[in-house]
Amino acid sequence: MGFFVKSMRNIKLTIAYDGTNYRGWQSQGGRHSNTVQQTIEEALKIIFLKKPRLIGSGRTDAGVHALAQTANFKIDNPIRPDKLKAALNGLLPKDIAILNVEDVASDFHARFDVLSKTYVYCILPLKSKTAFVSSWAWCIRHPLDLSMMRREANALLGRHDFRSFQASDRTKRHSVVALKRVEIKRVKDQTGFPFLRGLDLVTIELEASGFLRNMVRNIAGTLVDVGRGKFKKGELAKILKKRDRRSAGFCAPSCGLYLVDVAYEK
Amino acid sequence: MGFFVKSMRNIKLTIAYDGTNYRGWQSQGGRHSNTVQQTIEEALKIIFLKKPRLIGSGRTDAGVHALAQTANFKIDNPIRPDKLKAALNGLLPKDIAILNVEDVASDFHARFDVLSKTYVYCILPLKSKTAFVSSWAWCIRHPLDLSMMRREANALLGRHDFRSFQASDRTKRHSVVALKRVEIKRVKDQTGFPFLRGLDLVTIELEASGFLRNMVRNIAGTLVDVGRGKFKKGELAKILKKRDRRSAGFCAPSCGLYLVDVAYEK
């Protein structure tokens, strides 16, 4: 048994997915819950003839996208990482891509060992309907005052109790988070994609030691209210202090949210 | 009857659509052919209680996208253009957007009056699988030599018989086209969309008096062969002269093609 344990490999996956057609990352239990985790586990089962338990860095909600979700699993199989990557990408649907496969230390844990995570929330202020990208950004009809948003957002930096921005159905006892970075940018499109011409994307990038349920979407929803002039100066700091979900703005839709990086000590 | 004809309005629509989920622009006949034209005609019928015949500038194939498809129809109804636009956008699915509605001269014909059309073909050279945009560009695994592509593409400029690039199942008697512009660009992404970071799009933009069936896709497929070094210098000019579809490269997939502009005399 000791030998068996020694022969087990601990494999880390880096995964990108378009969350539009999935009910989030985490398996709900039940064969057809159509989650990203379950879809990848099914592919692993085809390769290994048994289904390893895939441990993700954390859940993402239905419709949320990921550029670099991380996960690990244990397996006693000698397959080369590059071959496993190729096989998985061949087996997985077009909206899930395995970006990297690597052997890691036997004690690596994709969730417990997270140092920090980075999310980007995308907002598309539009004058009229677009036939494209509506499932990849929150399309709004109002212009946004970014300088106002930036000034208010600074109040969130540092170590705070973010209960005001935590999903109301989840009151985690420990709701203190160290927010390392908040960046709000307007990016005039310069891509070659014809359907993006002239679009003017607003992104909110957040890096923190960890995130509470719906935290980024609640912050994004509140910052859009700020950008529309619904709150007066200094209001966001007050909302944070209140530690009451009802004081903040509403939860922005999941389609605009991207998990872009999960950092580990290395 | 003369009075009735006078009271008829001729209305021009400018339409954008993500063609991924449609069987092209043109109705195939049959209720459920799921074409863009039919989808818009159904929306017009809900507003006007009768279905006007929508005349498009031309067909686009299944999976082909449009940023500014044009169409016109006649109706005896006083609805304001801005209100009609709002009603249509409300009724139409999220992947079809009406960009403009305007009254035009009674003799305007969306197809016969076309002065020139512009198409863009998008190619995404990737090192590995992407979870995004695979239905909005032709994803290939090879690097492309753009200088080579540009030099060869110049042979296509001007008035030529493009039979070598015409759908093999359609041998139009008149296959002479005046190609006004060929531009091949590499656009390093600078958009804020996280899933586009680092992507390096290659676009082929063509403007012509008109296009033969599959002409842009056949040219794109051949130019990619050029960019991969499959043809030697001067080969494209030879292919053009041959006026034989079998001499050119294969037809590039529809997902990379965008109708971006339809010009009329004004």
Q: Three-state SS for A98?
A: strand
Give the pLDDT of residue A2: 44
What pairs with residue B182 in β-bridges? B206
Give the pLDDT of residue B170: 62
pLDDT band at A187; cut points 50, 70, 90: confident
Q: How far is the C-alpha of B216 from the C-alpha of A20, rounded, in Å?
A: 31
The number of C-alpha atoms within 13 Å of B150 and in the hemisphere containing its C-beta is 9
Give the pLDDT of residue B30: 63
Give the pLDDT of residue A63: 94
Instruction: Closest CB to A191: pick one of B96, B132, B187.
Output: B187
What pairs with residue A96 in β-bridges? A17
Q: Three-state SS for B173?
A: coil
Question: Is the confidence at residue A171, as pLDDT, over 80?
Answer: no
Assigned fold of A116-263: Alpha-Beta Plaits (3.30.70)
Q: How far is the C-alpha of A115 from the C-alpha of B141, rounded, in Å?
A: 34
Cβ of B190 within 8 Å of Cβ of A191? The answer is: yes
Burial label for B187, CB within 10 Å (0-12, 13-18, 19+), is middle
Instruction: Closest CB to A65: pick one of B67, B97, B195.
Output: B195
Q: What is the mean pLDDT of residues A176-201?
A: 85
Q: Which residue has the higher pLDDT, A252 or B250?
A: A252
pLDDT band at A29; cut points 50, 70, 90: low
Question: Is the confidence at residue A263, as pLDDT, over 60?
Answer: yes
Both structure tokens of A59: 């859940």
Number of residues written out for chain A: 266
Mean pLDDT for all residues in chain A: 91
Give the pLDDT of residue B1: 42
Can you say how many angstroms the Cα of residue B127 is from the centroid of all Cα atoms in its chain?
Answer: 28
pLDDT band at A194; cut points 50, 70, 90: confident
Query: Mean pLDDT of successive 10-residue segments in chain B (266 residues)?
Result: 65 97 84 86 96 95 96 96 97 96 97 96 91 91 94 95 85 83 86 79 94 94 95 92 87 96 90
Residue A91 touches chain B, beta carbons under 8 Å: no
What pairs with residue A114 in β-bridges? A264
Q: Which helix (H) or strand (E) holds A216?
A: helix A215-227
Type of residue numbered A93: P
Instruction: Give ranges for CATH 3.30.70.660 in chain B.
Output: 116-263
Give the pLDDT of residue B72: 98
Percent residues over pLDDT 70 in chain A: 93
Burial label for A265, CB within 10 Å (0-12, 13-18, 19+), is exposed
Question: Is the confidence at residue A193, as pLDDT, over 60?
Answer: yes
What pairs with residue A140 in β-bridges? A125
Instruction: Give ranges for CATH 3.30.70.580 in chain A.
Output: 9-104
Give per-residue pLDDT as tens, A110-133: 999 999 999 999 999 988 889 988
Measured in angstroms, the CA of A140 and the nearest CA of chain B are apart by 14
Measured in angstroms, the CA of A204 and the nearest CA of chain B are apart by 10
Can you say how many angstroms the Cα of residue A80 is from the centroid of all Cα atoms in its chain?
Answer: 29
Q: Active-site positions of B?
A: 61
Q: Which helix (H) or strand (E) holds A259?
A: strand A257-264
Which is nearest to A127 in space by CA: B36, B15, B86, B72? B86
**What is B9-104's CATH number, 3.30.70.580, 3.30.70.270, 3.90.550.10, 3.40.50.970?**
3.30.70.580
Give residues with Cβ within 8 angstroms of B182, minimum separation 6. B153, B154, B156, B157, B204, B205, B206
Both structure tokens of B173: 């008697």
Task: Please report residues of B whose CB lies closer than 8 A to that of A98.
Answer: 129
The vertex-B53 CA angle with B50 and B58, nearest 5°, equals 155
Give residues with Cβ within 8 angstroms of A2, minimum separation 6. none
How many cross-chain Cβ pairs, A to B, lie less than 8 Å apart?
Answer: 121
Number of residues written out for chain B: 266
Q: How far is the C-alpha of B114 from the C-alpha of B240, rounded, in Å?
A: 25
Cβ of A131 within 8 Å of Cβ of B202? The answer is: no
Among B residues 20-59, those touching chain A with beta carbons less than 8 Å apart: none
- State which residue of chain B sits closest to A96, comparing Cα positions: B131
Cβ of B131 within 8 Å of Cβ of A187? The answer is: no
Q: What is the mean pLDDT of residues A147-167?
A: 94
Measured in angstroms, the CA of A246 and the nearest CA of chain B are apart by 30
Give the pLDDT of residue B31: 61
Supply the pTM of this predicted model: 0.89
| Residues A104, A109, A114, A118, CA torsion sign | positive
Q: Please list the helix, strand and coil fractions of chain A in percent, rounded to the nearest 5, in that order.
A: 30, 30, 40
What letter would DSSP give residue A21?
G
Measured in angstroms, the CA of A173 and the nearest CA of chain B are apart by 32
